[in-house]
Structure 1
Amino acid sequence: MNTSSQSNTEFQKIILKNIQNFTNCEFIFTTINNFLHNYNRGYFTIVGSPGSGKSAILAKYVIDNPDVIYYNAQVEGKNTAEEFPKYICTQLTKRMGNGEWGVGEISENATEGSWFLSLLLQKISDHLKPAQPLIIAIDALDAINPNSQPPGTNLFYLPRYLPDGVYFILTRRPFKREQSGLLIEAPSQILDLSEYGLKNWDNEQAFTQHWQKMQGEGLSDVALSVLGVLISGEKEGVSLNEITAIKNVDVFDIQEVLDNWFEFLQQQRIGKETRYSLYHPRFRDWLGKQIGVESGYV
């Protein structure tokens, strides 16, 4: 079995596993379909904290729309920028080789870099029929290894421009706009799951993975102090000034810690203040047990 076939089988297993956590989210599919109807190309991004159901939602969408080409960056070995165009170009050339879009055999260099992906997408666009979009879905865009590609390039070398009829549906954890890792000039829309109060599916295994990522190569004294305040803080969260006052730590050092943990935090604007809290009460309680700090509310 070649690498592409192995990946496809692996992705199918992931889809079937993820769909088990699917909850009724028809409004999301309606929003996606409206985007496809309103724009002739573009990027649609589902953003949600860990365990919010992003992967299950995307799995359900792919099951219901079997022509969608699916990629999961959380699969081992698939979180590098080189693997994505290699896999996607192979899938596209298979369809083109089968005559689905009226294009003949593509040479072996189809798996080389992002330039060929853009070329393939344009060729496919030229042969798409009305109401026959090409949709590529990427689960866990944020899982990419940032060291796997040159600085300043789009995550996974995603195209800056898209031809007509070509769409990408992405899922990723919360991110700062200036740190999106994408420079695109095509219609785009973000759907933030935090606005809908969906059930969180995280378990202790997931908490352990999040905790490992938060620690990185080790937590500084400042990071431990900030974490203690987040765990023991009030339900509505704590402000930057409150953390500084409690721990007498430089505000810029605290902000750096909060930025590094951005995907694991909720931000709530109250008056003129931004208040920070850990993304879910169960994760806060679990972390409290790991470092011996009691949570500030039940």
Structure 2
Amino acid sequence: MRECDKVQSSATGKSKLRESYQEAGLTIKKLADKTNISEDTIKRLLGTKPCPNGVERWQVTNIAKALGIEATDIVDPKDWNADNSLPPEFESLIAEKIKTFCGRQFVFKAFQDFIKENLCGYFTIIGDAGMGKSSIVAKYVSEHKYPCYFNILVEGRNRPELFLKSIRQQLIHRYELQNSADADLPTLLAKVAGKLPAGERLVIAVDALDEVEQEPGENLLHLPTTLPDNVYFLLTRRPYHLGKKRLSVSPGVAVKELDLRDDQYVNFNQDDIKEYILFVLNAESDYKDGLRKWIQERGIFDASFVEQLANKSENNFMYLRYVLPAIAKGDYNDLSLKQLPDGLQEYYQNHWVRMGLEDKPGQLMEIVLYILLEIGTPIDCEMIAGIAKEDKCDVEAVLDEWVEYLKQPNVDGEICYSIYHASFLDFLKAKRKMDSKRKLFQDVNQRIFEYFEREMA
């Protein structure tokens, strides 16, 4: 990080700076005296004096610290963090998560308040599958360019050693750490803390602690029990049973949890859900025409559509991610607004029935899904066909039918497939429990065993 770099205030930053020094009871002269920065520099940041070349970063940092705000309140986060980059392994995931991001300002404010009130600590966002936890992390790191790690169960990217390797590389690159190729996390954090310029902090964002695979004992991902000053972790997870909670810290390390399911956040969640529906209805080019047609054919007012669909979503963004495109594509042309499924699990069951899997169990479509569930890591179409003992073209047709539920990573030049989201995994696992009479899962596992036996022969 180069402290000599020059930056300029954003349009909203100018207003924030003016508002902040006035709220603090200061004039431009008093703020200049308080920060040992010239009045001209402050005027350049306010936009009342020309600023063709920008001002020094340290000057913005000092002003922000004096006013109790962030440097990124004055300078656009993308400009402030321009020298930092996102880890390539997560770039496409982050881009996909923030493409239609809306709201969640109450979460960002709560985390910012936590940072201001504590010297260091762990802040955890808790919520059910589909409540937008990963998107919150993606949005935060896309703006601030902080180090991050996304645990992804279905890709096998959820082990402590993989987390440490990724974070180590990010910290070494970002802070130019020497002799750190084999350093553990506490050592890395101590080195970074010693290099942080005055007024700056390190935030490490880690998504989906509930998907981590690790032996019982220490903190998940071996997160340190102590943290240096100005070092914070932003974590997300689904709800745990009390006995499975895996984060112990030493006295002096602040810990806070924000549970998106709490009653105090109901109205915030509803507002964000409605904002998302309106965004897709009015701005999302892929679906807005189909949605408009569906609404107009039923004589529904926009406000009523937004209100009723928000209630049906049960504050779940994943529900909307599936239902809104399905409406636009005509999948629900035979249903009224009131007949749409209620909640994510009912949506999955409704889709299961509409695809004919309830009436004709054991067909190729169901076998393919169960293969993906049992294998658990991305596999290519040829392997799926080999396990199912079916023609590759028939398997490809099934995969096309379920494309919105599947990830398609490129592994060694081959397009592979895995289940997209943990909530759909949960749905399939529930089907596995109910399937004991038909023994279909035993059949699938036998096919998997026979496939690998053939391949090894």
Aligned ranges 1:46-195 → 2 under 5 Å:
46-66=125-145, 68-74=146-152, 76-97=155-176, 103=177, 105-110=178-183, 116-146=184-214, 150-185=215-250, 186-195=253-262
Secondary structure of 1:16's match?
A: helix
Q: Give the CA RMSD over aligned residues.
A: 2.2
Whole-Å separation in 2 of the counterparts to 1:219 and 1:152:
33
Whole-Å separation in 1 of the counterparts to 2:100 and 2:211:
20
Worse-matched range after superposition: 13-22 or 23-32: 13-22
Secondary structure of 1:18's match?
A: helix
Q: Tell me which residue corresponds to 1:208.
A: 424
The one-letter code matched in structure 2 to 1:166 is: V
Aligned ranges 1:6-21 → 2 under 5 Å:
8-21=87-100
Cα offsets for 1:158-199 (capped at 9, x unmatched): 111111111000011011343211212210110111122323
Q: 1:108 Cα deviation (Å)?
A: 3.2
Are the structure 2 counterparts of residues 160 and 107 from structure 1 closer, same or farther at C-alpha, using a change threshold of 3 Å? closer
Q: Tell me which residue corresponds to 2:114.
A: 35
Q: Return the structure number with greater strand share.
A: 1
Secondary structure of 2:87's match?
A: helix
Q: Give the TM-score, by structure 2 length.
A: 0.41
Secondary structure of 1:188's match?
A: strand
Q: 1:212 Cα deviation (Å)?
A: 3.1
Whole-Å separation in 2 of the counterparts to 1:18 and 1:106:
35
Whole-Å separation in 2 of the counterparts to 1:13 and 1:184:
33
Secondary structure of 1:194's match?
A: coil
Secondary structure of 2:157's match?
A: coil
Are the structure 2 counterparts of residues 160 and 218 from structure 1 closer, same or farther at C-alpha, using a change threshold of 3 Å? same
Structure 2 stretches of 5 or more lacking a match? 1-85, 270-314, 323-347, 349-404, 406-420, 437-457
Cα offsets for 1:257-284 (capped at 9, x unmatched): xxxxxxxxxxxxxxxxxxxxxxxxxxxx
Secondary structure of 1:153's match?
A: coil
Whole-Å separation in 1 of the counterparts to 2:434 and 2:222:
32
Cα offsets for 1:230-282 (capped at 9, x unmatched): xxxxxxxxxxxxxxxxxxxxxxxxxxxxxxxxxxxxxxxxxxxxxxxxxxxxx
Secondary structure of 1:209's match?
A: helix
Q: 1:107 Cα deviation (Å)?
A: 4.6
State the identity as a percent: 36
Whole-Å separation in 1 of the counterparts to 2:213 and 2:244:
14
Q: Report how many residues are paired.
A: 199
Whole-Å separation in 2 of the counterparts to 1:189 and 1:220:
41
Is the contact made by 2:159 and 2:221 (CA closer than 8 Å) also made in structure 1? Answer: yes
Structure 1 stretches of 5 or more lacking a match? 1-6, 98-102, 111-115, 222-298
Q: Give the TM-score, by structure 1 length.
A: 0.61
Q: 1:11 Cα deviation (Å)?
A: 0.5
Whole-Å separation in 2 of the counterparts to 1:162 and 1:214:
40
Secondary structure of 1:79's match?
A: coil
Is the contact made by 1:154 and 1:183 (CA closer than 8 Å) also made in structure 2? Answer: yes
Q: 1:120 Cα deviation (Å)?
A: 1.1
Are the structure 2 counterparts of residues 169 and 107 from structure 1 closer, same or farther at C-alpha, using a change threshold of 3 Å? closer
Whole-Å separation in 2 of the counterparts to 1:145 and 1:130:
37
Are the structure 2 counterparts of residues 194 and 109 from structure 1 closer, same or farther at C-alpha, using a change threshold of 3 Å? same
Is the contact made by 2:175 and 2:195 (CA closer than 8 Å) also made in structure 1? Answer: no
Is the contact made by 2:122 and 2:232 (CA closer than 8 Å) also made in structure 1? Answer: yes
Is the contact made by 1:93 and 1:106 (CA closer than 8 Å) also made in structure 2? Answer: no
The one-letter code matched in structure 2 to 1:211 is: F
Are the structure 2 counterparts of residues 188 and 214 from structure 1 closer, same or farther at C-alpha, using a change threshold of 3 Å? farther
Is the contact made by 2:168 and 2:181 (CA closer than 8 Å) also made in structure 1? Answer: no
The one-letter code matched in structure 2 to 1:70 is: C
Q: Return the structure number with greater helix share.
A: 2
Q: 1:58 Cα deviation (Å)?
A: 1.4
- Bigger Rg over Cα: 2
Cα offsets for 1:17-72 (capped at 9, x unmatched): 11134221211111111000000100000001010111111111112212x11110
Is the contact made by 1:20 and 1:56 (CA closer than 8 Å) also made in structure 2? Answer: no
The one-letter code matched in structure 2 to 1:131 is: G
Are the structure 2 counterparts of residues 10 and 175 from structure 1 closer, same or farther at C-alpha, using a change threshold of 3 Å? same
Is the contact made by 1:21 and 1:56 (CA closer than 8 Å) also made in structure 2? Answer: no
Cα offsets for 1:89-108 (capped at 9, x unmatched): 121122232xxxxx5x2253
